[in-house]
Amino acid sequence: MKIAIIGAMDKEIERYLELYSPKLVDEQRKIYAAQNIVIAESGIGKVNSAMLTQHLIDKYNVEVIISSGCAGSLTNDLKVLDVIIPPYVTYHDFL
């Protein structure tokens, strides 16, 4: 099984690159590969993430995709590394 880990920014994939020591296989798209894992930086936004995801499916035959990243909060009740499971989600840029 081939797994892809996608992060929007280099900071979000940095630790995975340290853990797996993959080789850079596509400098323009910032795609790294090691055995059955592909790690890539998509850039910020849904469109960039979707385009990279489709590219990884088409070219690298990935079967599982993990989107890894960070988010901000508007409350002081949360701490770094808290896991949040929302009761619902919505698009912020959808009319």
Question: Quick one: pLDDT at residue 90?
Answer: 73
**Per-residue pLDDT at 82:** 85
More confident residue, 80 or 3: 3
| Interacting residues of 16 by C-beta distance below 8 A, sequence separation 6+ | 5, 7, 39, 68
Q: What pLDDT shows up at residue 95?
A: 55
61-74 pLDDT, tens digit per residue, is: 999 999 998 777 78
Distance CA 16, CA 5 (A): 8
pLDDT of residue 94: 58
pLDDT tens for 10-44 read: 999 999 999 999 999 999 999 999 999 999 999 99
pLDDT at 29: 93
Backbone angles phi, psi at 20, to 5 degrees: -100, -15
